[in-house]
Amino acid sequence: MHTGAEDEAAIEAAAAQGIRTRDVGGKATPDEVTAAVIASLPALS
């Protein structure tokens, strides 16, 4: 059983290797995953 920080969602976005998300303990919300994906996108300028 995980407790404390281990239960928090950990989302990684690796720009050079595409999008990778890691949800430690199954706690990430769809909004958190979406934010990680959007944050990893290049600027459209």
Give the per-residue pLDDT at 22.
61
Q: How far apart are CA 30 and CA 12, in angstroms?
A: 14
Specify the pLDDT at position 36.
Answer: 77
The residue written with tokens 């909004």 in the block is 31
Looking at residue 45, what is its pLDDT? 61
Q: Read off the pLDDT of residues 1-45 as tens digits, 9 standing for 90 and up.
A: 554 444 444 444 444 444 555 666 667 778 877 887 788 787 776
User: How high is the pLDDT of residue 25?
Assistant: 66
Give residue 24's pLDDT. 61
Instruction: Give, rounded to a whole angstrom, the gap between the first and last alpha carbons of the chain.
Output: 45
**Overall pTM surpassing 0.85 (yes/no):** no
